[in-house]
Amino acid sequence: MNLWTLVLTTIAGCYLLKLAGYLVPARVLDHPGVRRVVELVPVALLAALVVVEGIANGRHYDVNGPRLAGFAVGAFAVWRRAPFLAVVVSAALVAALLRQV
Amino acid sequence: MTAREPSPQRAARASVVRNALGVGVAVGAYGFAFGAASVAAGLSVLQSCLLSLFAFTGGTQFAVVSVVASGGTLAAALGSGLLLASRNTLYAMRLAPLLRVRGVRRLVAALGTIDESTAMAVTQRDPALARVAFWWTFAGVFTFWNLSTLLGAAGASAFGDPSRYGLDAVIPAAFLALLASRLRDGRLERRVALAGAAIAAVLVPFTPPGVPVLAATAAVLLATTMRVPR
């Protein structure tokens, strides 16, 4: 894939989606049904990304001990409402240390 | 603003500005992770920085480079990225009557329409404070997000193999952190998340990379058509 095409279309798409909200009259998209779908789509996508990043590599399942241990510690930090920096550092540290042993 | 402002107003304003900058600093940590993940996925430092400068919406940027890293197609990467970005349209519609911007200011405000600036603006009681919250949060997040993207991307390209530093564990944890506040919103959100995760997990061996993530959006249709009570 051409990464420049991807970068430029992502930029254009993201910006136009934002701008559209200022240009269209509010009633066009402001149905409760539409709003609910738009608010829920990120929930489904993010959950899927957690899974894919956690256990997949391309079309294969890839269960990697240090990665899952790091993720588990990061997830615990998220659950305890730790600041994002703590989530990142704890996940990275655990995975990196386990790879040293 | 002016010296004639009553001091409670000035105090409220100062507190809004402080919170806005605090949000910016917190988001900065996320920028490091994005910069590193982006370079690890194969994007250049310049491409990573351009995404942060002009796409300027973290979840989408992360999703796009995640699909690239897994070997997905351009369409799959763009599809999941733009679906994630579509919530910014709703944010803009909520902000438009508050900000009442025209011309160039509207073009700039559009760029700054993200989770954090919207959340900070719509929770103010007073429209003037809402505008202060929007612009300062935008400024704070924009500054730190872009600085940290540059540092993360340049660092990753200098230090090599990011899995040695546990980046592969950071990425799913980062997505979970983005998801967490929504999971606390209610039962419907948790059902959608579980269904989305299950759909993606099952599809991994059967579809090209990137498709499991896109297909997970079917969870929303399932959950909303079944009319699950909140």
**pLDDT, tens digit, for every residue of B166-192?**
888 998 998 899 899 889 988 999 999
Residue A57: per-residue pLDDT: 86
Q: What is the pLDDT of residues B7-40, one digit of tens each?
A: 778 888 998 898 888 888 888 778 888 999 999 9
Any CB–CB contact under 8 A between B119 and chain A? no
Is residue B92 within 8 angstroms of chain A, CB to CB?
yes
- Distant-in-sequence, close-in-space partners of B225: CB < 8 Å, separation ≥ 6: none
Amino acid B13 reads: R
Q: How does pLDDT run along chain A (101 residues), one tens digit per residue?
A: 699 999 999 999 999 999 999 998 767 666 788 778 888 988 999 999 999 999 998 889 999 999 999 999 999 999 999 988 889 899 999 999 999 98
* Token pair for B175: 């997505």
R_g of chain B, CA atoms, integer Å: 19
The answer, for B216 touching chain A at a CB cutoff of 8 Å, is yes
Contact B224, A38 (CB under 8 A): no
Helix (H, G, I), strand (E, B) or coil at B49: helix
Kindly determine whether residue B29 and residue A70, on different chains, have CB atoms separated by under 8 Å.
no
List the single residue in B with minimal CA-CA distance to A95: B166
Residues in chain A closer than 8 A to B213 (CB atoms) = 45, 48-49, 52
Do the chains contact at B29 and A43, CB–CB below 8 Å? no
Which sequence spans correspond to the domains of chain A? 1-28, 31-61, 64-101
Interface membership of B189 toward A (CB under 8 Å): yes
DSSP B160: -
Quick check: pTM over 0.90? no
Ranges of each domain in chain B: 7-184, 185-230
Kindly state whether A63 is in contact with chain B, defined as any CB-CB distance less than 8 angstroms: no
Residue A57 has phi, psi (to 5 degrees) of -140, 105
Q: Do A15 and B55 touch (CB under 8 A)?
A: yes
Q: Residue B137 — pLDDT band, cuts 50, 70, 90?
A: very high
Nearest Cα residue in chain B from A92: B166
User: Chain A contacts of B228, Cβ < 8 Å?
Assistant: none
Q: Which residue of B has its CA nearest to A3?
A: B43
* The three-state (H, E, C) secondary structure of chain A, written as one string: CCHHHHHHHHHHHHHHHHHHHHHCCHHHHCCHHHHHHHHHHHHHHHHHHHHHHHHEECCEECCCHHHHHHHHHHHHHHHCCCCHHHHHHHHHHHHHHHHHC
Please give the Cα distance from A48 to B24 (Å, whole number): 27
Question: Does A78 reach chain B within 8 Å, measured CB to CB?
Answer: yes
3-state secondary structure of A57: strand
Closest CA to B134 of A96, A78, A22: A22
Q: What is the ipTM of this complex?
A: 0.90
| Average pLDDT across chain B, whole number | 89
Whole-Å CA distances, A41 to A9, A37, B118: 21, 6, 18
